[in-house]
Amino acid sequence: MTTKELRITEIVAEHAGREGPLLPILHDIQAELGCVDAESEALIALALNLSRADVHGVVSFYHDFHDHADPRPEVQICRAEACKARGVEALVPGAEKAAGDRVKLTTVYCLGLCSAGPAARHGDRLHARLDAKGINHLIETAR
Ligand code: FES
């Protein structure tokens, strides 16, 4: 058994007996390995007696899970309707320029800050009422 397989087995065991263990397992694996790849999906499916398609369906549904590790810092920008109404689209070209290849810029649809958009997230921190200066600063300082 590889180190990765062993760690996945341990994470699954940590959530054994819990009701609805799949999402907590996926979050832990994403946090620890930087992704939930096909090998991880297969191991999780086997351990939880699910089909690989069941696990992959959940992984591919949520923006938080990635199928390969990306070492770049990630900034998520909300481009859902409320943030659009508050001007996020005008910020996107500058944000893309500020990100370049160093920062992974991703689009999400609602961060729960609809009345205080445009909104973005970096790591566990949410940022609201962003203007061009604010989003560019967020991206340029993202580590
Ligand atoms: S629409 Fe952007 S935070 Fe909800």
CA atoms of 126 and 97, how far apart (whole Å): 21
**Per residue in 36-49, pLDDT tens?**
999 999 999 999 99
**Per residue in 69-126, pLDDT tens?**
889 999 999 999 999 999 999 999 999 999 999 999 999 999 999 999 999 999 889 9
Angstrom CA distances, 58 to 8, 64, 66, 116, stand at 17, 11, 11, 29
Does residue 110 have its Cβ closer than 6 Å to ligand 1? Answer: yes
| C-alpha of residue 135 to centroid of ligand 1, in Å | 15
Confidence tier at 17 by pLDDT (50, 70, 90): confident
**Residue 88 CA, closest ligand 1 atom number:** 2
* Pocket probe mutation, ligand 1, options 114, 115, 126, max atoms within 8 Å of Cβ: 114
Across-strand partners of 109?
none
Confidence tier at 16 by pLDDT (50, 70, 90): confident
| C-alpha of residue 86 to centroid of ligand 1, in Å | 10
